[in-house]
Structure 1
Amino acid sequence: MQPIAPAPPRTAAPSFSAPNASVPRLRKASVACRECKRTKARCQFSDGAAACDRCTKRHLSCTFDLDEDMRRKSAHKRKIGKLEAERNDLLQLVQTLQDSSDAKAMQLLDLIRTKAPLSELKLYMDHNISPPERETTPPLAVYNQTSTDDLVSHLISLWMTWSHPYYSWIDRELFLRDAQAGKPNSQFCSPFLVNCILAEACFHSDLPEVYADQNDPESKGVHFYEEARRLYETIEDRRDLPSIQGCGVLFVCMAAMGKDHIGWWYLGQVRKMAEAFTNKHPPPSEASTESHAVDTTLWDIYNLTATASISLMKNLAIDRPNRPHFPCAHRTDDPWVPYPRQINPIQSHIPCVLNSFTALSEINVHANRMVLASGLEPPLHQLVRTLKDVQRRLEDWKNKLPPCLTLDNTTVPRSLSLQ
């Protein structure tokens, strides 16, 4: 609503009219003001007037709902469409400069320096830069038919940068290997899992494509979630790793959407699936890359249910997995860069985070079961004793944090999350 101040009081007109005075011309408003709409009266304006003729004569506040002015909305939508097209052209320009060979990039840069318009730059890119130089992980597109390859690749990269390192239940290399192979329902990737990841990744992006409805700010990621939900109905009884991981991602996604009750339901599915999977797939006699990925998934599902249970004050944490645990290792072959920003890589510290997170989860599970497992409110003296025990264990946990995760040495965002 845009209120328009009432016209100032008019002074009394003289009793005569000038011979050549012209009557002010009235024109119909493109949308009626609130007062004219309420009384179903004709809403007309004098040229240059700030209020309609009827409200001016009655000294009323002339207020309009600009959202109902279809001409203004159409012009606004056309402007947004034009800006989005220009933005996409600029993104294509940046992507082309990043991915092209040095020779092609220099040719494009020379054209930019001639101050060529954006339309000419786009024409040059479309006709002179070969498609292979612009493609990025196209096989991912087989898992989602609602978006472009570039958007899918961008969202996967965002998720791997900002979500994955904390809940690292998905082995990055094995997931990308199976995703790029383009085989649905493989051991470490599935259409369901990919769409779950895309739905959560939308909350790391402000691109217009991450909204199911670009006029609805509440629709971020909804189109990917709807696809994931549809796919879940086809795998509901499946107990494979991608299904467990996907439901875990959906719990986080539902929390971001403010749908805690739906998220809690998905967390229940995670628990049931994880227990069934563990019973069916005991630890192998010899460790492998694949078994390491399974172990990491089960440990981080344990961390997820422990964190959710203590946060939502419900008792749903799973038992501590009977799986190998891996010591902290300062790997130099696993760098982290805050995509899409390009700065010097730093150590990811993912194994360190996993171990410290697991130790914290054990404290959370203990506190949760002491207070909530019985379903009854514990007596005050028991609560006090539990609180003191939890405080002692938390202090001990903090003192045993590896140097790379202490507050003074924080370099990666997940260490801040632990703090």
Structure 2
Amino acid sequence: MSHSMRPLLPNSPNPPRIETSSSSSSSSQHRTKRVATPAACEACRRRKSKCSAERPRCSVCVERQTPCEYTTLPTETHLRAQRRKLSNLEIRCQAYEDLFGILRSRSEEEIAQILQRLRTGEDAQTIVKTVQDGDLLLQLSLKPEFRFRYIFPYSGEMPRHLKDAQNPYIRSLLYEKTVTHLVQPPMYIETLKEISDESQKMYIAPYHTVELDDPRISSMIVSNWTTVSSDNPMLRMLLQIYFVFEFPFHPCFHKDFFLEDMFIGITRFCSPLLVNAVLATAWHGYTRMKNRAEYWQPHNLGYRFLAEALRLFELEQETPTITTVQAAAIINLVYNLNGIDELGWVYTHKSFGMAQKISLFTPNPEESTEWQMVAGVTAWCLFNWQALITFHTFQPPVINDPPSRPLPDVDEEPAYYGEILVKYPFGKEPVRIYNGSVFKAISQFRVILNDITKSFFNPSRTYSPISFEAAIEFRSKLRIWYEDLPQPLQARHIVLPCHLKIHIHYHIVLISLFEPHLHTDNAYNGVNPDMIVSQSRICFETLMRIYYLRHGFECLDTTLVQFLHLLGFSTLDEISVTENGSAANEAIRSTLMLCAKGLWEQGQNYYLSEAVFRMLRQSMSVEDVTILGDIVEVEDGDGPLNLMAQELRSRWPIGAFSKADDSKDRTLEHFIHWWQQYSEEKAQDISAMEQDGPVVPPRYPQRYGT
């Protein structure tokens, strides 16, 4: 039997309510939702009563006539306030740690001043900030009476033969503003303050006066990444030194990803190994320490940073990451600076072996965007480094072909390269150094350079000079590259050291290509090797002199030693064939003194440069050595050279653009062997030991006259 059923309707999510007039009136009074307050006052919290959170006094405390206090900021919850207080406490604790690190590493005089300030009641944070600012002032400050422009040693004028009408660098803005628009020292600071276009300060102030503009570094606790030092102000300065002076021309990683991970505290693209390797490099530019070039001293922090990096590298090399590869390349650089490149080459080959192991040079379609950028930059950094080193040491390339990772357009994908922003004295806004343009221009140049090096070696990897026709073909490729440089890197506009060095290297390579074909009957399509070499030598010397006039040679520049020894030893060739006292002879001597001064000043930063300086000085005539003594204060005697014989392990070719002259072995190793032989002979010469006065060592036996 069936029954008709009433169909059921779905339940309403908000069933209607039947209210009386009284209940309706009552509910209307409470319909408005109470606004949640971020945090109650302390009195209401103790009473556990609802607080209106009005400031300066809530309505409850006004009604009860009780004191009303808040421990939170107006928009803070109590949880956020606790986090803020914890952060402030960590900052205070870090200040005490920084202060302790400062007291451990500073001189007795500085420690006494710090203790005096503590006794007067000054807090630790203020003292640490003062010391940090003082360090930056010492490292980066402007000295207008000396630093508007540098003055050439021996002869203060630009040699006449460099003012050639076809010399594009004499017509550069940098030369014009450095030489012709001379501002007297008393007006220098006022001139800087009046410049509204910050980018124009590049032409007025030396590069070493800048400060890196990156808030990540200024607030970073670097000591979390190294066990060597807890002096965070010093460690932050070392990072600044690295990114300002070393990174633009010799990068080994992607700056922004490195700093971001370092700041956050993750190890994707940053690691203690990589940080210690960076600090070991930057220590060479830390001018507060006079013995920073003495890498063998255990108390030297550079020694300890490198030792820690080597320890961590040994632990990681079996299961390498991208930071292991990057650190190996930097370790190789540090070994080169220390004059022990025989040991450093191992790390170059290890870096490439590990790079192949993690498929660094070949892109994978499944790679993340971040990895593509970091791997691409790193692959090109490694390729560029080996292309530079193998060319100048006359060795076969470590890798024959460039990375298969394309270099994107700088304007379309600026994040791929990253930018370095710096502030000049009295600057309101930072200026960029065109890091992306520099990186891409260097990479394109090093592809050609690597092809040139490959052409020097036959299939059996034996060195043989290239033909005149091949040299002309490479010159055509280099000229296309040169003419396609972006505007900031063109001859008219170059200003910063990394810009100048791109052009310097271009002319060095041209000299290297055509020097073997000098004074021959070679002629092809009107190309004259003598004219090419002569013009490039003029440009090379002009660029080096402009570099000195604007930026000086004191601050860390690991490439300068390569340029200075090539120019310096070539002047020894020239000075021996010109009449002593003539205008030409005096101009050459001026260049020789400039190169010797530059090598000595860079030698205060890294030992390789002092070794080359000693070799150059030992090759000079007695007259030139006497003149040099009035320019730089050099320790005489056998001690420094005996120490070199003990510490150097270098086969770096010195003063050789090419292997055109195979009869001369101009390596540092050969120089050391010569000195050791001389020392042994002198020790056996009893008559020399009994001689009154100092024994003057002979000139280094090169081809520079007698």
In structure 2, do the counterparts of structure 1 residues 334 and 279 end up closer, same or farther at CA, with 3 Å as the change threshold? closer
Deviations 1:101-133 (A, max 9, x none): xxxxxxxxxxxxxxxxx9247744336849899
1:387 and 2:471 aligned? yes
Q: Distance in 2 between matches of 1:369 and 1:239?
A: 29
Q: Which residue of 2 aligns with 1:259?
A: 340
Q: Tell me the distance in 2 between the aligned counterparts of 1:272 and 1:216.
A: 31
User: Which secondary structure does the structure 1 equivalent of 2:123 belong to?
Assistant: helix
Change (3 A) 1:151 1:128: closer
- Greater relative contact order (Cα < 8 A, sep 6+): 2
- Partner residue, 1:289: 370
Residues 214 and 248 of structure 1, relative CA distance in 2, 3 Å threshold: closer
Q: Where does residue 264 of structure 2 map in the other structure? A: 181
Among 478, 485, 495, which residue is 1:411 paired with? 495
Which structure's CA Rg is the greater one? 2
Superposed displacement of residue 274, structure 1 = 1.7
**C-alpha contact 1:178 1:187 (8 A) present in aligned 2:** yes
Asked if the contact 1:254–1:263 (Cα under 8 Å) also holds between the matched residues in 2, the reply is: yes
Aligned residues: 308
For 2:355 and 2:295, locate their aligned partners in 1 and report how far apart those are by CA, in whole Å: 37
Distance 1:146 1:128, change over 3 A: closer
Contact 1:235 1:243 in 2 (8 A): yes
Task: State the Cα deviation string for residues 141-177 of structure 1 (Å, max 9, x = none).
Answer: 1221121222221111211222222233322222122
Aligned to 2:48: none
Query: Distance between the aligned counterparts of 1:284 and 1:89, measured in 2?
Result: 61
Contact 1:212 1:222 in 2 (8 A): no
Task: Please give the alpha-carbon distance, in whole angstroms, between the structure 1 residues aligned to 2:112 and 2:493.
Answer: 41
| Greater CA drift, 356-365 or 135-144 | 135-144
Cα distance in structure 2, aligned partners of 1:174 and 1:362 = 25
User: Superposition RMSD on alpha carbons, in Å?
Assistant: 3.6
Alignment of 1:1-400 (within 5 A): 84-87=107-110, 119-120=116-117, 123-126=120-123, 129=126, 137-147=219-229, 148-183=231-266, 186-208=267-289, 211=292, 221-278=302-359, 282-284=363-365, 288-318=369-399, 319-329=401-411, 334-337=419-422, 343=427, 345-372=430-457, 374=459, 375-378=461-464, 382-400=466-484
TM (norm. structure 2) is 0.39
Q: Equivalents in 2 of 1:214, 1:311: separation in Å?
A: 24
Kindly tell me: are residues 288 and 134 of structure 1, through their superposed partners in 2, closer, same or farther at Cα, counting changes over 3 Å?
farther
Query: Cα distance, 1:293 vs. partner?
Result: 1.8
Mapped to 2, the partners of 1:376 and 1:127 lie a distance apart of 63
Q: Note the C-alpha offset of 1:383.
A: 3.3
- Deviation sequence 1:78-98 (CA, Å, 0-9, x none): xxx9982444688x8xxxxxx
C-alpha contact (below 8 Å) 2:329/2:382 kept by paired residues: yes
- Alpha carbons of structure 1 residues 131 and 279: separation in structure 2 relative to 1, 3 Å: closer
Q: What runs of 5+ residues in structure 1 fail to find an aligned partner?
A: 1-80, 93-117
Which residue of 2 is the match for residue 68 of structure 1? none
Q: Is the 8 A contact 1:329 1:352 kept in 2?
A: no
Question: What SS is found at the alignment partner of 1:337?
Answer: strand
Q: Distance in 1 between matches of 2:296 and 2:426?
A: 31
Distance 1:241 1:231 in 2: 14
| Secondary structure, counterpart of 1:409 in structure 2 | coil
**Aligned counterparts of 1:358 and 1:143: Cα–Cα separation in 2:** 31
In 2, Cα distance between the equivalents of 1:413 and 1:212? 22
**Structure 1: how far apart are the matches of 2:124 and 2:463?**
71
3-state DSSP class of the match of 2:305?
helix
The question of whether the paired residues in 2 share the 8 Å contact of 1:169 and 1:245 is answered with: yes
Verify the 8 A CA contact 2:284 2:293 in the aligned structure 1.
no
Change (3 A) 1:386 1:215: closer
The 8 Å contact of residues 362 and 403 in structure 2, kept in 1 or not, is answered as no
Distance 1:231 1:217, change over 3 A: closer
Shift of 1:388: 2.3
Query: Which residue identity lines up with residue 300 of structure 1 in the other structure?
Result: C
| Partners of 2:492 and 2:112 in 1: CA distance | 43
Percent identical among aligned pairs is 20
Could you tell me how far apart the structure 2 residues matched to 1:82 and 1:232 are? Answer: 26
Opposite residue 455 of structure 2, the aligned amino acid is M
Range with greater deviation from structure 2 (328-337 or 191-200):
328-337
